[in-house]
Amino acid sequence: MDAPARRARRRFLRNSAGLAGVLVVGFVLPEGRGRFAQAQEPKKAIAPTAFVRIGKDGTVTVIVKHLEFGQGVLTSLPMILAEELACDWARVRSELAPAAPEYAHTAFGMQMTGGSSSVWNSWDQLRTAGAQARTMLVEAAARQWKVVAADCRAEKGFVLGPGKRRLSYGQLTEAAAKLPVPESVTLKPASAFTRIGTSTLRLDAADKATGRARFGMDMKGKDLHTAVIAHPPVFGARLKSIDAEKVKAVAGVTHVVEMNRGVAIVAKDFWAAKKGRDALQAQWDLGRNASVSSDSLAARFAEAAKAPGIPAKKSANPDAMKSAAKTIAADYEVPFLAHAPMEPLNCTVELTGDGADVWVGSQFQGVDREAAAKALRIPVEKVRLHTLLAGGGFGRRANPVSDYVVEACEVARRAKVPVKLVWTREDDIRGGFYRPAYLHRVEVDLDGAGAIAAWRHAIAGPSILAGTPFEPMMVKDGIDPTSVEGVADTPYALPNMEVSLHTVDAGVPVLWWRSVGHSHAAFVMETLIDEAAAAAGQDPVAYRRALLAAKPRVLNALEVAAARAGWGSPLAKGRARGIAVHESFGSVCAQVAEVSLVEGAPRVHRVVAAFDCGLAVNPLGVEAQVQSAIAYGLGAALFGAITLADGRVQQSNFHDYRVLRFAEMPAVEVHLTGGGERPTGVGEPATPPIAPAVANALFALTGKRARKLPLSSMAWA
């Protein structure tokens, strides 16, 4: 970092310590430095704070600490701050924050984006920052007019005072910046909100529709090299030897770097690097995973489930489980899933004389920055991590072991040139860190009237948290909560429920995938509840209603989805409906799916969703996230599966790892059923219900029960 940047940084740290909205004149964010600065807008700050800068021209720039990867934080978070700032929305811009401790998640303590938490964890922080800035602007105007601040008010980017006095925020920003930051501010009551709760168009739409938006993949620079990595063919395999002669003969290849996890080919451009990799001859010690297959893993999960597991939930009265009139016993299998974001993984690293710049679309800035420092063998303070737009992520860019960031750093350190590491789609599909495969083994006892009398539920599969730095914090008494969430904490009043966990190390790297454990839990829970309703001869909505009497939010979402979908009304021949409801990330989503079979294959025509995310900050954005979560979950439910044979992943690209295509998108209707004064999670909670809603509709249509995902693996016709 050069001297001005260091000064700016020190000033930033001093002034912002412990306070969210500190105004500091001349603060320059520690990004846009280094040789690839052209990728960033120049920053001429007048009166910035950690979260907002107001220019002399009245432009309000909100600094967004979270990654923008589709979920709309470049719009929803500025809305929260702008509400309290009382500025003109037409003058609001937004930009991504650099990696810095000031931008830590308010609940999780480090800078990160995940768990459908961007809006709710920023809620108090950004409202306070907006109110602080507004208070300072009002005070600055009052001093200039020699009146008391209480006689002034802020409105649409102006401070209005006695006798038609009026000054714009742009006129006041310099004076306001010299004032102390108020320690306590009054926030608006929810009833006075004018921006929050109003459907608002995205601020990043024009740049994204015209190709101007810059993603990590778009980093460029005169000396910037491209690296691709030949990864091991089997997870955990080690490099034995290589023949790099043919690689080096490829025009444009500059370096071949042997690494623990593969061989990096560095070249002047992507195509040369890729051709270099194609020419590589490498021998591997395949290690203990060389014989792993999907079948062998399924057998291991089934074997594990025979023994008693670790209890995640215990029945109050185990003896009650012996008098069932009928028992539904089922094994459910769900596969590994790749995240497959549209933008393949990438990371750009440049070592400078005084440290390093890392450019990456990261969900885990805090973790990635520390991992980069370790891989580069420099102190963490010397790593400037710049967050760029990411083309999707769904959890893949939040890796506790920072896999592709570490790779990029290692290549840059060893090749001694600025490097953009690019994963190809094949690397992405075969690169591990999947949603874990699981086995659920469940027995549901019904009494003579068809009511649930007991529920015994065993889950077997890999742990996402085991072996990560999060394990000591999050794994309690051997239970990885991400393995059992959505089951052990079901909102249904299920008597005599036992849940047990069998953690099995599959030798396959696993990770959180949009909605994490809920992605499979909802499928199992909601198809079983449906099956219990059918066994009882009851309507699926009515049966659920009786079990949700103590859960008004869940019940309300269920009722609204059913009503809006016309539950029980006649459908065209060959069509059927199914319903599911699931609670996750503090929110509830109920969905009714309408399906048919087209040439024997399931086709989803319409989905009616009722969604309770508390106070919806941007209803238009929430609707988009519900559509998105359904499309993402539906593609996986119908087609998604990563399988292994001889230790090798059998899929490689979008032809054999099928995702939802345009013509397969159902018409999704979204009804917001929440309210109140605080927001809850939005990005993920609409993913879990789609698989069971579709599976239940297919049962209604065909009489067949799905026990396995993806649904296309079954013969339905």
Partner 1 sequence: MSRFFVNGEQVDFRGDADTPLLWALRDHLGLTGTKFGCGAGLCGACTVHLDGKAVRSCVTPVASIAGKRVVTIEGIGNTSRAPVALAVHEAWIEKDVVQCGYCQPGQVMSAVALLTANPSPTDAQIDAAMNGNLCRCGTYQRIREAIHGASAALRKA
Smallest gap from Cβ 663 to partner 1, in A, equals 4
Does the footprint of partner 1 cover residue 404 (CB under 8 A)?
no
Nearer to partner 1 (CB atom), residue 206 or residue 645 = 206
In this structure, the number of other CB atoms found within 10 A of the CB of residue 344 comes to 19
Nearer to partner 1 (CB atom), residue 253 or residue 280 = 253
Using only C-alpha atoms, the chain has a radius of gyration, in whole angstroms, of 27
**SS3 label, residue 657:** coil
Does the footprint of partner 1 cover residue 571 (CB under 8 A)?
no
Does the footprint of partner 1 cover residue 207 (CB under 8 A)?
yes
In the 8-state DSSP scheme, what is residue 30? S
**Among residues 661, 676, 678, 704, which is the contact residue for partner 1, using CB under 8 A?**
661
- Angstrom distance (rounded) from CA 631 to CA 103: 31
Contacting partner 1 within 45-104 (CB under 8 A): 68-72
Part in contact with partner 1 (CB under 8 A); list of ranges 25-33, 380-388, 392-400, 708-716: 392-400
Does the footprint of partner 1 cover residue 37 (CB under 8 A)?
no
Does the footprint of partner 1 cover residue 202 (CB under 8 A)?
yes
Does the footprint of partner 1 cover residue 422 (CB under 8 A)?
yes
Nearer to partner 1 (CB atom), residue 17 or residue 663 = 663
Nearer to partner 1 (CB atom), residue 487 or residue 607 = 607
Does the footprint of partner 1 cover residue 542 (CB under 8 A)?
no
**Among residues 3, 251, 572, 715, which is the contact residue for partner 1, using CB under 8 A?**
251
- Angstrom distance (rounded) from CA 614 to CA 624: 16
Does the footprint of partner 1 cover residue 681 (CB under 8 A)?
no
Does the footprint of partner 1 cover residue 654 (CB under 8 A)?
yes
Smallest gap from Cβ 252 to partner 1, in A, equals 8
Nearer to partner 1 (CB atom), residue 210 or residue 569 = 210
For the stretch 35-39, contacts whose Cβ atoms lie closer than 8 Å and that sit 24 or more positions apart, written own/partner, are 35/221, 35/222, 35/223, 35/350, 35/418, 36/219, 36/220, 36/221, 36/224, 36/348, 36/350, 36/357, 36/359, 36/418, 38/221, 39/214, 39/218, 39/219, 39/220, 39/359, 39/388
Does the footprint of partner 1 cover residue 601 (CB under 8 A)?
no
Closest to 485 measured CA to CA, from 459, 504, 446, 509: 459
In the 8-state DSSP scheme, what is residue 5? H
Does the footprint of partner 1 cover residue 598 (CB under 8 A)?
no
Smallest gap from Cβ 582 to partner 1, in A, equals 18
Nearer to partner 1 (CB atom), residue 39 or residue 45 = 39
Nearer to partner 1 (CB atom), residue 147 or residue 213 = 213
**Among residues 343, 403, 498, 583, which is the contact residue for partner 1, using CB under 8 A?**
343
- Token pair of 376, please? 């580069």
Smallest gap from Cβ 427 to partner 1, in A, equals 10
Please state whether the peptide bond connecting residue 710 to the residue before it is cis, i.e. omega within 30 degrees of 0: yes
Q: Answer whether 498's CB lies under 8 Å from 456's CB.
A: yes
Does the footprint of partner 1 cover residue 662 (CB under 8 A)?
yes
- Angstrom distance (rounded) from CA 364 to CA 98: 12
- Count of residues making up the chain: 717
Part in contact with partner 1 (CB under 8 A); list of ranges 52-60, 119-127, 206-214, 316-324: 206-214
**SS3 label, residue 693:** helix
Part in contact with partner 1 (CB under 8 A); list of ranges 57-65, 271-279, 408-416, 695-703: 271-279
Contacts with 465 (C-beta within 8 Å, 6 or more apart), sequence order: 471, 474, 475, 480, 481, 482
Does the footprint of partner 1 cover residue 201 (CB under 8 A)?
yes
Number of residues interacting with partner 1: please give it, by CB under 8 A. Answer: 65
**Among residues 190, 213, 320, 601, which is the contact residue for partner 1, using CB under 8 A?**
213
Part in contact with partner 1 (CB under 8 A); list of ranges 108-116, 209-217, 236-244, 410-418: 209-217
Give me the residues paired with residue 438 across strands. 334
What is the residue whose two structure tokens read 């714009």?
168
Tell me what percent of the chain is helix, strand and coil, each rounded to the nearest 5. 35, 25, 40
Does the footprint of partner 1 cover residue 668 (CB under 8 A)?
yes
- Angstrom distance (rounded) from CA 688 to CA 480: 19
Does the footprint of partner 1 cover residue 390 (CB under 8 A)?
yes
Helix (H) / strand (E) containing 130:
helix 118-145
What is the residue whose two structure tokens read 């072996």?
467
- Angstrom distance (rounded) from CA 484 to CA 501: 7
Does the footprint of partner 1 cover residue 344 (CB under 8 A)?
yes
Part in contact with partner 1 (CB under 8 A); list of ranges 94-102, 172-180, 212-220, 590-598: 212-220
In the 8-state DSSP scheme, what is residue 658? -
Q: How many helices (H) and strands (E) does the chain have?
A: 18, 27
At how many degrees (to 10) do helices 169-177 and 118-145 cross? 90
Does the footprint of partner 1 cover residue 397 (CB under 8 A)?
no
**Among residues 148, 187, 307, 342, which is the contact residue for partner 1, using CB under 8 A?**
342
In this structure, the number of other CB atoms found within 10 A of the CB of residue 296 comes to 14
In this structure, the number of other CB atoms found within 10 A of the CB of residue 677 comes to 11
Does the footprint of partner 1 cover residue 489 (CB under 8 A)?
no
Smallest gap from Cβ 161 to partner 1, in A, equals 37
**Among residues 88, 218, 443, 489, which is the contact residue for partner 1, using CB under 8 A?**
218
- Angstrom distance (rounded) from CA 470 to CA 472: 6
Does the footprint of partner 1 cover residue 204 (CB under 8 A)?
yes
Contacting partner 1 within 606-645 (CB under 8 A): 620-621, 624, 627-632
Secondary structure (DSSP) of 506-520: -SS-B---TTTTHHH
Residue ranges that bind partner 1, judged by CB under 8 A: 68-72, 201-202, 204-215, 217-218, 220, 226, 251-252, 269-272, 275, 340-344, 389-394, 422, 424-426, 620-621, 624, 627-632, 653-655, 659-663, 665, 667-668
